Amino acid sequence: MVNDTNINERQKDILKQIIKSGSVSRGQIATEFSKITAVRDLKGLVELKLIRPVGGGRSTQYILVEKNPHLYYLDKIDYFTNDLDLRGAQTSFNQKIFKNIGPLFSAEEIKQLQKQAAGFSQRGKNLDKTIYKRELERFIIEFAWKSSQIEGNTYDLLETETLIKQRQEAVGHSHEEAIMILNHKDAFDSIIKNKQDFKTLNFSDILQLHNLLTKGLEISAGIRFQPVAITGTLYRPLQGKIELKTVVRQTIKLINQTEFPPAKALLAASFIAYIQPFNDGNKRTARNLANAILLAYDYFPLSYRAVDVNDYRRAMIIFYEQNNLYHLKQMFVEQLDFSRNNYFRT
């Protein structure tokens, strides 16, 4: 996947120009920069697999490799430099997204991920049973810690380990924070036991997962019937209970119709958070649901351990406001690779 730090400001401008006009020639770029600079910048974007040349000689044009507008490169730093009211944000749920979301992975990406990120169960079988149990516990601790941290939980990793292993709450933290973390463990334990249930989703799967993650936290069960607001964005989710049930069912249908497991999981991780069907606990439900789908199809689950909390929140806001999945997909694929390289190693 692309490392955004490798893209300079000139290259970002080139990408914006191609997104706007559909293509660009070296000559068009060279009017703004020197010919040598233009060639170097275009070559760099080709190597990053963001653009590709079509035609030849002086008539060569450069177009985007990505054909899905929901996955076009978007400059995250530039986007959040703008004031909240000046970002051109969508303020309401986009009903057309179910038809327009398009393929989320190319044939090349599918082939690569099938090779690199699948085979979770075989990795476990190759481990001694005691080591497998310890690795599973380590994964649960790190996932529960980071997922809870994304929700604002202030437990650190070592405190989370003590809580899960010894049921000992850390001094200086609320009881609710401990419950949130332990709920993550219970939810993941349930997923492991019933992972085959998530091959084909139904409405009750999502409700039950949400119930496990929010029990004891004074969060109402079931689909909400009142409006919710999200910090840091002008986007306001749907508020009618009937409407919410309808779009959740549409999401389930979309996920079930999608063939590639990581694409199913990415849809779950993004759409449940986008819809916000519950009064609270939406994003943690989305992350756990995505992991359940990955495990159902024998892919490594995501711990998010290496994810910066604010990067995650920004990526989610970009999806809320622009329906752009570029950064969420980047994060998702990077975490698949991280899990494969860091857990259940033989």
Cα 151 to the chain's mean position, in Å?
15
Q: What is the mean pLDDT of residues 67-74?
A: 93
pLDDT per residue as tens digits for the range 166-189: 999 999 999 999 999 999 999 999
Cβ atoms within 10 Å of 302's Cβ, excluding its own: 27
What order do you get walking across the sheet with 51-54 strand by strand? Answer: 24-25, 61-64, 51-54
Q: What is the pTM of this model?
A: 0.92
| Secondary structure letter of residue 301 according to DSSP | P
Residues 198-236: pLDDT tens digits?
A: 999 999 999 999 999 999 999 999 999 999 999 999 999
* pLDDT for 177: 98
Find the farthest-apart pair of alpha carbons in the chain and give their distance in angstroms, rounded.
69
Average pLDDT of every residue of the chain: 93
Predicted confidence (pLDDT) per residue in 102-150, tens digit = 899 999 999 999 988 888 988 888 899 999 999 999 999 999 999 999 9
pLDDT(2) > 60: no
pLDDT at 30 over 70: no
Q: What is the pLDDT of residues 284-297, one digit of tens each?
A: 999 999 999 999 99
pLDDT, residue 36, reads: 84
Q: What are phi and psi of 236, to 5 degrees?
A: -125, 115
Q: Tell me, what's the pLDDT at 317?
A: 98
Question: Per-residue pLDDT for 5 more than 70?
Answer: no
Say how far apart CA 103 and CA 129 lie, in whole Å. Answer: 39
Query: Please, which residues bridge with residue 118 across strands?
Result: 299
* Residues 261/4/94/238 CA torsion (nearest 10 deg): 90
Closest CA to 148 of 179, 191, 188, 172: 179
- The structure tokens 């004891």 sit at 216
CA distance 14 to 73: 11
Burial of 179 (0-12, 13-18, 19+ CB in 10 A): middle
Q: Is the torsion defined by CA of 301, 326, 320, 252 positive or negative?
A: negative
The pLDDT value given to residue 6:
77
pLDDT value of residue 4: 64
**Spatial separation of the C-alpha atoms in residues 108 and 46, rounded to whole Å:** 16
So what's the pLDDT on residue 1?
52
- Residue 15 CB partners (closer than 8 Å, separation 6+): 7, 45, 50, 51, 64, 73
What's the pLDDT score for residue 39? 85
Whether pLDDT at 35 is above 90: no
The pLDDT tens digits of the residues spanning 303-346 come to 999 999 999 999 999 999 999 999 999 999 999 999 999 999 87
At 240-282, the pLDDT tens digits run 999 999 999 999 999 999 999 999 999 999 999 999 999 999 9
Write down all domains in the chain, each with its CATH number in brackets: 4-65 (1.10.10.10), 84-342 (1.10.3290.10)
pLDDT in the model for residue 156:
98
